Copies of this chain bind each other. A is one copy, B any other.
Amino acid sequence: MRSTAEARRAVVLNAAVSAFARTGFHATPVTAVAAAAGISEAYVFRLFAGKLGLFVAAAEACFERIVAALEVGAERAGDAGPDEILDAMGRAYAELIADRDLLLLQVQAQAVTDVPEIAAAVRAGYKRVATFVQNRSGAGDAQVQQFFAYGQLCHLIVTAGLEQVPEPWARALTAGIDHP
């Protein structure tokens, strides 16, 4: 026993988040995740319920990390007004997705929602994030909606690489968005 199964699961999960984020569910072979985790493909299948189970677990981990980051960010704003808290959360989110993995995995998951299990995971994930934002910030519906709208815009900016485009139309879309 080199390691415990639970510890291995965590390592595999990290590898899965990165791998699925880059190439998505269907284009990511389980071999790639196994190699990144430093174990055999066969053992990945023993640790998780198929490729689908692995992807769902990765998505859940992704949303969990996002909530944690927002929590930390909100802490910085203390118990200021909704505007300040949302602002602090936005900055925390911007820092979190600097490595792009968590952002890209959300995009990948949204693209595979024709698989019911994944759709359920996405809904559950956004439920956790949205209810947390609502409760912790105390902001109204419109403000919360705006928060998520600009979050989704951020997804487009990154996937399309709009930060690199100097033309006016791209500058309009990226204006004021933090991208460290």
**Which residues of chain A have a CB within 8 Å of any CB of chain B?**
22-24, 26-27, 107-108, 110-114, 119, 122-123, 126-127, 130-131, 134, 141-142, 144-146, 148-150, 152-153, 155-156, 159-162, 165, 167-173, 175-176
Contact = CB atoms under 8 A, between A and B. Distances in A.
In the complex, the 9 A-B pairs of residues with the closest C-beta atoms, listed nearest first:
A111-B111, A152-B152, A26-B26, A130-B169, A149-B153, A141-B172, A149-B149, A110-B159, A26-B27
Given A107-B111, A119-B161, A145-B153, 17 more contacts: A110-B111, A110-B155, A111-B159, A113-B159, A113-B160, A113-B161, A123-B160, A123-B161, A126-B160, A127-B167, A127-B169, A130-B169, A130-B170, A131-B169, A134-B172, A141-B175, A148-B173
A148 B123 CA distance: 22
Nearest to A22: B114
A153 B150 CA distance: 8
- Number of chain copies forming the complex: 2
Contacts of A114: 22-24
B127 A144 contact: no
Given A153-B152, A160-B123, A169-B134, A145 B175 contact: yes
Contacts of A107: 107, 110-111
A30 to B, nearest CB: 14
Contacts of A130: 169-170, 172-173
A37 B152 CA distance: 34
Given A134-B172, A141-B171, A111 B149 contact: no
A144 B131 CA distance: 28
Contacts of A110: 107, 111, 155-156, 159-160
17 contacts: A22-B114, A26-B26, A108-B111, A119-B159, A122-B160, A123-B165, A126-B173, A127-B169, A127-B170, A134-B169, A142-B175, A144-B173, A145-B176, A146-B149, A148-B156, A149-B149, A152-B153
